[in-house]
A and B are shown apart, each in its own frame.
Chain A
């Protein structure tokens, strides 16, 4: 099941922070369409729940040196 997720991220200062998070998430299986916004301090992505859990994503972000929490979730709409 695919899900659209948004996380609030704390501690990003600059574009290299957001780029680092974006690249790290992009390379993980089960995560698509990652977009990390420096300005709104959010990361939005579509995840495959069979492959990756929300807690895993928070863990990945926290390992990079930032704090993260789930902002909202919603079923991915059929295009």
Chain B
């Protein structure tokens, strides 16, 4: 006969274990039951099966007046599982912090002028067309165009650009960016979900939905995982029982197997890394449209650049000014005439003149197809192409060598003369971006084949390409053939197309990865799988790096999650027991399970501290 105290103690344990087993774990029962009803099983099924067997076996032991019971196993397990889920939820929440930070960027109110009266309105009350006043240090509430005033604006939170951008009448301002010292007014153009900020948030959120291909492996394993574990637990129970290990031992190994198995870690391996990775990208102004593009980017073999506006600044500038026989004021005279012209070259000349004092020109006449003429201080000047000089009978012999040289560099050359003599020549060309050389060098160093594609003529194309360090050039390509060419290149390996999204969207769409470049313009956000908010080509290198480190993180997560299960399950089943005495106590098994998913999430969170 048992000592009454023992009996009492066992009943007391039963009393204590029951609320934990049924009340605190009730959500698990509901979820396990519903899964069972659908002929399937989930994580909760494993926990319920494991702890339930321990509990009911203990009840049996108490009722049969056995000394021993396993109430503590079930209660500790349920506690550990719930604690693990809590830690996991906290960590999971942190993976989305980048998005939360973006949401918090949005200002709450704005000073609006309606009918001449200034009033402070909530952000939701602003309508398109409202005139908004922005004071020094204030956040710009929505997107729009400056109508009056000057200032510089810190746009780093949206574009990642660290230098303040100057704004004057007509310039675009982006909501959530911060005004520096000036005061200006702007007209609200895009509000609510149409603002650049809202679209970035949506893009980063949506990126989580498009799964990376690598995740399909995990999903596939997960869907067979739980039934397999139940099977292994059953086999382990039967085997131990049949070789005479005793019912207690057999049951405890089976419970250990049920609770050590953890598909969670495997399931979290990819999405947490993608979430943290895409958030890190957003911080740098590099937006991935989905897990798939984040995965593909690091596998790129070819990278194709559009020329105009992508590798080059996209607008001509004066590159050379050569005066003949010591003639002075070439640019000032040219700019004085060009002031009256709307040709794109005129803009370059006027910009070159900068703050130079211009002359007053009279009788300015455009000579269509040739150039322009006008009188300055009584002298008639002519400015235009070589044909203009030939037409008015001015010898270009003194400049002919330079002319041929400049033309061979892909530049457009214009001549300035008076009635009798040539005064000078000016060369105009589209110049490469400051970041182009660096980016191309880095991409080549990373083993990518860098290619340039353009509709421009071969001479100009080759010149720009050699400046950037690009060897492969496709020139004279019609817009509709760009996409065809991309498809051909894809046969040799994953191909990215880099463009501004304006006239090359078909090519961006046909590439494995379309990289759209642009300072937060609509088109850039719509097109392309990767959006670079800044106009900096070095961000392509960063995007590839981000893709690589994110994928490494995923592989590492997957390896540990798989390794953990592959090792944990046999140990729990007692496979090594005979050789080494290794056995996993169910409580320890449950703790290991809870920690394994927390560790995967924590490992993903470490990505946040990487520098690109």
Contacts and interface: CB of A to CB of B under 8 A. Distances in A.
Most chain B beta-carbon neighbours within 10 Å: one of A14, A20, A66: A14
A16 B271 contact: no
Contacts of A65: 30-31, 33-35
A40 B96 contact: yes
A15 B209 contact: no
Nearest to B37: A63
B268 interface: yes
B223 A19 contact: yes
A22 B219 contact: yes
Contact of B209 (A17, A35, A63): A35
Contact of B222 (A16, A44, A66): A16
A15 B211 contact: no
Contacts of B218: 15
B560 interface: no
A15 B35 contact: no
A11 to B, nearest CB: 7
B42 A13 contact: yes
Given A11-B31, A15-B218, A37-B208, A20 B38 contact: yes
Chain B interface size, as a band, is 35 or more
A40 B209 contact: yes
Most chain B beta-carbon neighbours within 10 Å: one of A6, A18, A40, A66: A40
Nearest to A79: B509
A1 interface: no
A12 to B, nearest CB: 9
Interface string B209-251: 1110000001100110110000000000000000000000000
A13 B222 contact: no
B205 A18 contact: no
Interface stretch (B168-176, B259-267, B487-495, B576-584): B259-267
Contacts of A66: 31
A24 interface: yes
Nearest to B509: A79
Most chain B beta-carbon neighbours within 10 Å: one of A38, A39, A42: A39
Contacts of A16: 41-43, 222-223, 225-226, 263, 267
B42 A14 contact: yes
A64 interface: yes
A23 interface: yes
Most chain A beta-carbon neighbours within 10 Å: one of B27, B34, B267: B267
Interface in A56-70: 63-66
Nearest to A22: B219
B209 A38 contact: no
Most chain B beta-carbon neighbours within 10 Å: one of A19, A20, A23, A35: A19
A13 B272 contact: no
Majority SS at the chain A contact face: mixed
A11 B264 CA distance: 14
A44 B25 CA distance: 30
Interface residues of A, number: 24
B535 interface: no
Interface in B19-40: 27, 30-31, 33-35, 37-38, 40
Contacts of A40: 96, 205, 208-209, 275
Nearest to B526: A77
Given A19-B222, A39-B268, A65-B31, A13 B208 contact: no
B38 A15 contact: no
Nearest to B85: A13
B40 A20 contact: yes
A13 B208 CA distance: 17
Contact of B264 (A14, A42, A64): A14
A37 B44 contact: no
B92 interface: yes
A7 to B, nearest CB: 11
A13 B38 contact: no
Contacts of B597: 14
Interface in A1-51: 6, 11, 13-20, 22-24, 35, 37-40, 42, 44
Contacts of B27: 11
Contacts of B264: 13-15
Contact of B43 (A17, A35, A44): A17
Contacts of B205: 40
Interface string B136-178: 0000000000000000000000000000000000000000000
A65 to B, nearest CB: 3
B95 interface: yes
A6 B208 CA distance: 12
A20 B208 contact: no
Contacts of B38: 20, 24, 63-64
A40 B96 CA distance: 8
A17 B45 CA distance: 11
Contact of A15 (B30, B33, B41, B268): B268
A15 B266 contact: yes
A76 to B, nearest CB: 14
Interface in B38-67: 38, 40-44
Nearest to B222: A15
A39 B92 contact: yes
Contacts of A18: 219, 222, 267
Given A13-B42, A15-B264, A39 B96 contact: yes
Contacts of B225: 15-16
B137 to A, nearest CB: 35
A37 B271 contact: yes
Contacts of B85: 13
Interface string B488-517: 000000000000000000000000000000
Given A16-B226, A17-B31, 5 more contacts: A13-B43, A19-B219, A39-B208, A40-B208, A44-B209
Interface of B: 27, 30-31, 33-35, 37-38, 40-44, 85, 92, 95-96, 205-206, 208-211, 218-219, 222-223, 225-226, 262-264, 266-268, 271-272, 275, 597
16 contacts: A13-B43, A14-B262, A14-B267, A14-B268, A14-B597, A16-B43, A17-B31, A20-B42, A37-B209, A39-B95, A42-B209, A44-B209, A64-B35, A65-B30, A65-B31, A65-B34
Q: 5 closest pairs, A vs B, by CB?
A: A15-B267, A65-B34, A15-B222, A14-B264, A39-B271
